[in-house]
C-alpha cells in the first residue's frame, strides 16, 4: 500500500463558506422535517433504521454509505450536533484494520468514500470552530481519517481508477467504476483541504483514468460499456472537475457544461431521466429507456455541486428552483424514496436542497492544501 506522506499545516482552510443564493422557505421546512425523521430513526449505536419501497429489493451495499450520506445531510442542515457524533462513533467502531469504513463488511469503495467524507467534514468543522468534538474522540477521528484515506490510496489501480467493491470482480463492479471515481476523488480532495499530504501523483493518476474514459466526441461518462451518457454521472464528474483548482481540466469542464445546460429543456427534472431535444444529442435518445423513475437523487445533489463550485449564481438559482419544484413534488410522505432506500434518497435530497446555505466544505472548491 502506498503510504500517506503526512499532515500539513492545519487550521488554515475554509474559515467561512459563502451563501450561494436565496433558499426556498417551503423547501427549508421540508428539509427540517426530513432531518427530524432521520434523527428519530437513528439507533442507539448511531446507525440509522433503513426503510425501502414496498416490493423493491435494496442492495445491502447501498446501506453502508447511506450512514455517511445521512451524517452529511444532517450537517448540511444543522451543523455538527449529537446525531452527527453518534454517526461518527458508529462508523469508527466498525472501521476495519485496513482502514475500510464498512459497516456491513462489503468493502465497497464507493460507500467507503461517502463515510470518509463525513469524517473529514467534521474535522474541517472542528478546525474552523463550527464543531466541538470531545478531546478523547478527536484523536480517534484523525486516526480514522488517516486510515480511511490510506485505504483509498492503496485501492487505486495503475490506470488511476478505483474498483467499485475492492477485490470483487464482475460486470456490476466494472459498470460502476466511474461512479466510484467521483466520491473517491472528493474524499481525497477533502483530505487535502484538511492538510493531509497525499503521495505524489495520486490525483494526477485519477485524472489520467478519466481521460481513458473519454468518448470520441470528447465527453466523459461512467457508462462506457453501455455506450450511453448518464446525466447523473455527467453531473457528478463535472462537479469533481469544478472542484479541482487550476486550468488543466478547462476543456473537459466546457464539454460537461454543454450537456448539463441541456438538462432543464430536456425534461430531466420532470422525468428523473434525460431525453435530448438537441439534434446533436440524438445518439443519447435511448436514455429514456434506460433511466426509469425513482433514481437515487444522485444527479440532483451533484448538479447543485456543479453550480456552487463554479460560482455561477444565476445558473445556480435557475436550476435550484427546478430542483426544489421537482423534489417537493416527488416525496414519499415527508421523506424521499427509491431503490436505494429512504435513508440514502432522503439524505441526497437534503444535500441538494441545502446547497444555498453552503454549510459543508463539499459545496466549495476542493484540494487546496495550505501546506503546499
Looking at per-residue pLDDT, the higher value among 129 and 58 belongs to: 129
Beta-strand relationship, 6-7 and 196-197: antiparallel
Section 115-120 average pLDDT: 97
Predicted local distance difference test score (pLDDT) of residue 246: 66
> Residue 118 domain-assigned?
yes
pLDDT of residue 167: 54
Residue 139 domain-assigned?
Answer: yes
Give a yes or no: residue 114 inside a domain.
Answer: yes
C-alpha cell at 196: 493531509
Q: Is residue 171 part of a domain?
A: yes
Question: Which domain range does residue 159 map to?
Answer: 16-50+59-363
The residue with greater pLDDT, 137 or 157, is 137
The arithmetic mean of pLDDT across residues 62-82, rounded, is 90
- How far, in Å, CA of 304 to CA of 56, rounded? 28
**Residue 196: what are its φ and ψ, rounded to 5°?**
-90, 130
SS3 at position 82: helix
pLDDT tens column, 97-111: 999 997 565 678 888
Contact of 302 with 240, CB cutoff 8 Å: no
Residue 76 located in a structural domain: yes
Q: Which residue has the higher pLDDT, 314 or 271?
A: 314
CA distance to 67, 106, 131, 177, 182, per residue, from 110 (Å): 13, 11, 26, 9, 8
Asked whether residue 368 is assigned to any structural domain, the reply reads: no
The mean pLDDT value for 37-59 works out to 77
Q: Answer whether residue 8 is part of any domain.
A: no
In sequence order, what are the residues at sequence separation of 6 or more whose Cβ sits closer than 8 angstroms to the Cβ of residue 280? none
Alpha carbon distance 37, 350 (integer Å): 12
The answer to whether residues 291 and 229 touch, using CB atoms and an 8 Å cutoff, is no
Is the pLDDT at 59 greater than 80? The verdict is no
pLDDT, average across residues 311-326? 86
Q: Find the mean pLDDT for residues 190-208.
A: 91
Residue 368 confidence (pLDDT):
63
CATH number of the domain at 270, please: 1.50.10.20
Find the mean pLDDT for residues 309-337.
86
pLDDT score of 342: 86
Query: Residue 341: which region, alpha, beta or left (left: phi > 0; alpha: psi -120 to 50)?
Result: left
Percent of the chain scored above 90 by pLDDT?
Answer: 37
Residue 118 pLDDT > 60, yes or no?
yes
Using pLDDT thresholds of 50, 70 and 90, give the confidence band for residue 141. Answer: very high
The DSSP letter of residue 360 is: S
pTM: 0.85
Beta-ladder partners of 196:
7
User: In this structure, how many other beta carbons lie within 10 angstroms of the beta carbon of residue 260?
Assistant: 24
Q: Is the pLDDT of residue 273 over 90?
A: no
| 293 has pLDDT over 70 | no
- Which of 159-173, 191-205, 285-299, 301-315 is predicted with the least confidence, judged by mean pLDDT? 285-299
Q: How confident is the model at residue 55 (pLDDT cuts 50, 70, 90)?
A: low
* pLDDT score for 52: 63
pLDDT digits (tens, 9 = 90+) for 236-263: 888 888 887 666 677 778 777 877 776 6
In this structure, of 184-188, 280-284, 341-345, 350-354, the range with the lowest mean pLDDT score is 280-284
Instruction: Inform me whether the pLDDT recorded for 220 exceeds 90.
Output: no
Domain-embedded: residue 1? no
Give the residue-averaged pLDDT of 269-298.
44
Average pLDDT (306-332) is 87
**Per-residue pLDDT reduced to its tens digit, 162-184:** 887 755 555 455 556 777 888 99
Rg (C-alpha) for the chain, rounded Å, is 19
pLDDT of amino acid 23: 87
Total of domains in the chain: 1
Q: At what angle do helices 109-127 and 60-78 cross, to 10 degrees?
A: 20
Residue 364 has pLDDT above 80, yes or no: yes
Residues 6+ apart with CB under 8 A from 36: none
What pLDDT shows up at residue 208? 82
212 or 330: which carries more pLDDT confidence? Answer: 330
127 contacts 9 by C-beta, under 8 angstroms: no
Task: Summarize the confidence of residues 31-52 as an average pLDDT.
Answer: 91
Amino acid at each position: 500500500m502506498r503510504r500517506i506522506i503526512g499532515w500539513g499545516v492545519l487550521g488554515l482552510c475554509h474559515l467561512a463558506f459563502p451563501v450561494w443564493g436565496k433558499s426556498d422557505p417551503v423547501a427549508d421546512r421540508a428539509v427540517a422535517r426530513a432531518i427530524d425523521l432521520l434523527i428519530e430513526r437513528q439507533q442507539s449505536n448511531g446507525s440509522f433504521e433503513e426503510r425501502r419501497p414496498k416490493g423493491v429489493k435494496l442492495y445491502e451495499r447501498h446501506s453502508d454509505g447511506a450512514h455517511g450520506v445521512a451524517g452529511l445531510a444532517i450537517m448540511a442542515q444543522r451543523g455538527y450536533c449529537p446525531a452527527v457524533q453518534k454517526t461518527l462513533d458508529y462508523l469508527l467502531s466498525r472501521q476495519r484494520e485496513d482502514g475500510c469504513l464498512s459497516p456491513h463488511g462489503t468493502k465497497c469503495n464507493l460507500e467507503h468514500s461517502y463515510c470518509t467524507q463525513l469524517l473529514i467534514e467534521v474535522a474541517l468543522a472542528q478546525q474552523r470552530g463550527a464543531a466541538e468534538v470531545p478531546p478523547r474522540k478527536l484523536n480517534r477521528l484523525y486516526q480514522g481519517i488517516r486510515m480511511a484515506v490510506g485505504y483509498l490510496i492503496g485501492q487505486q489501480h495503475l490506470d488511476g481508477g478505483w474498483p467499485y467493491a475492492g477485490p470483487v470482480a464482475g460486470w456490476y463492479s466494472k459498470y460502476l467504476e466511474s461512479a466510484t471515481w467521483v466520491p473517491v476523488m472528493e474524499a481525497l480532495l477533502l483530505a487535502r483541504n484538511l492538510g493531509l499530504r497525499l503521495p505524489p501523483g495520486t490525483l494526477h493518476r485519477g485524472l489520467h483514468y478519466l481521460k481513458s474514459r473519454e468518448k470520441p466526441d470528447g465527453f466523459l461518462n461512467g457508462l462506457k460499456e453501455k455506450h450511453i451518457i448518464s446525466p447523473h454521472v455527467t453531473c457528478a464528474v463535472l462537479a469533481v472537475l469544478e472542484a479541482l483548482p487550476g486550468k488543466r481540466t478547462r476543456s473537459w469542464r466546457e464539454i460537461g457544461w454543454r450537456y448539463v445546460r441541456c438538462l432543464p429543456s430536456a425534461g430531466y427534472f420532470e422525468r428523473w431521466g434525460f431525453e435530448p431535444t438537441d439534434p446533436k444529442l440524438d445518439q443519447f435518445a435511448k436514455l429514456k429507456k434506460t433511466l426509469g423513475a425513482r433514481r437515487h437523487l444522485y444527479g440532483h445533489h451533484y448538479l447543485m455541486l456543479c453550480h456552487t463550485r463554479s460560482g455561477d449564481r444565476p445558473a445556480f438559482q435557475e436550476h435550484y428552483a427546478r430542483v426544489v419544484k421537482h423534489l417537493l413534488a416527488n416525496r414519499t410522505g415527508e421523506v424521499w424514496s427509491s431503490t436505494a432506500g429512504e435513508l440514502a434518497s432522503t439524505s441526497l435530497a437534503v444535500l441538494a436542497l441545502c446547497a444555498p446555505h453552503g454549510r459543508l466544505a463539499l459545496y466549495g472548491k476542493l484540494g487546496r492544501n495550505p501546506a503546499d
